[in-house]
Amino acid sequence: MVTLTSVAESLSERLGFAPDSPLFTRAVTHSSYAGEHGEESNERLEFLGDAVVNLAIANAILRDYPELNEGSGSLARSRVVNEQSLAAVAHDLGLPDVVRLGKGEMKSGGSQRPSLLADALEAVLGALYLERGPDVAIRTAQELLAPLLAEAAASPLASDAKSQLRQWAEAQGFGAPHYEVTSSGPDHDPLFFVRVTVDHAVVGEATGRSKKAAEIAAALAAWEGRRNA
């Protein structure tokens, strides 16, 4: 049996895991540690946790933010379910002090790497899904991400990203942004890919389940990276 540190035990119990939960231990086990010690890494749990987080935030948007339509709701979700946001939540939880890393990863500062922390948070939520069930996992994800979702839903860009981008581009003398839309998948469930260009340069790309949602997400990506345009 793997003995967790007191910090890890405290976090495990706070999130609702059973004492000495093997699922929690696996969730905080990076592939670098797993390879050195012959254990299973958190990669499969991260795969499950990614779906948990997306479902949790989509459900919260429909339940708590009726003013958001499909496009602005998709945009708000994308501003919450991303590496930077998830890493920030993982950091606040104390995951940098809990995640199990191999020697090389530890020396290189892996415990502070956003991608590693975001994956660890998703793995923890995936583990919680398996141990406590979907209701607990979804509720926990919603509670952890509620402040970020509230901020994203309140942002003017959540409903006006295309207008903001157009105004900026025209003020710079670039003219209006151009949106190139392609789609794939079956007619009943298409996936739209949008590339937005400003002054003939690609400044944002995104996908969405509707053309509008994809265009808004691409516009936000372009707006947030506009200084490089």
The reply to whether 122 belongs to the active site is yes
Selected catalytic residue, list 46, 105, 119, 122 = 122
Closest CA to 27 of 44, 51, 3: 44
The total of other beta-carbon atoms located within 10 Å of residue 101's CB is 22
> Cα 161–149–140 angle (5° rounding)?
155
Residue 107, C-beta contacts closer than 8 angstroms, at least 6 positions apart: none
Instruction: Report residue 108 as tokens.
Output: 């290189």
* Residue written as token pair 């190139």: 180
Helix ranges (H only) for the chain are 6-15, 22-27, 31-37, 43-64, 70-80, 83-93, 103-107, 114-132, 134-154, 157-171, 211-224
**Catalytic one among 50, 105, 119, 131?**
50
Closest CA to 131 of 1, 10, 17, 2: 17
Catalytic residue numbers?
A: 50, 122
